[in-house]
Amino acid sequence: MKVAIPTPSDSNDTLANPRFGRANYFCIIDTETSVKQFIPNPATQAAHGAGVQAGQILVDNNVEAAISAKYGPNAEQVLHSANIKMFLYPDTGTLGLDELIQALTANQLKEI
């Protein structure tokens, strides 16, 4: 499954960014191969519609699920319309990408 996590940087050891639409990057992780790909988020500086633009990036990259601490209503609508599953994690500010994928595969994240 291809899973997207918003991140502040394009480093493998980065922590997750709790802000979905305004994250600098999305890390797309293939849970079967563990391959990570970082996609820049051009919506970071958008005056309006960052959630819609960010959601469209995931649609364009054939993502099947997203993990974030929070989603805006517009991002939720785009992801829901594209049948992309949305999972929540508690925003502790200290969760890494691998940790979130492990929590997802262990069914420890809440789906919305």
pLDDT computed for residue 47 by the predictor: 63
pLDDT computed for residue 36 by the predictor: 94
Distance (Å, rounded) from C-alpha 98 to C-alpha 88? Answer: 15
pLDDT computed for residue 2 by the predictor: 96
Structure tokens at 102: 């492990």
pLDDT computed for residue 92 by the predictor: 66
Domains of the chain: 2-111 (3.30.420.130)
pLDDT computed for residue 43 by the predictor: 75
pLDDT in tens, the chain (112 residues): 999 999 999 988 888 888 888 899 999 999 999 899 999 998 777 666 678 888 899 999 999 999 999 898 989 999 999 999 999 987 766 778 888 999 999 999 999 9
Closest CA to 10 of 44, 47, 46: 44
The conformational region for residue 27 under phi > 0 = left, psi -120 to 50 = alpha, else beta, is: beta
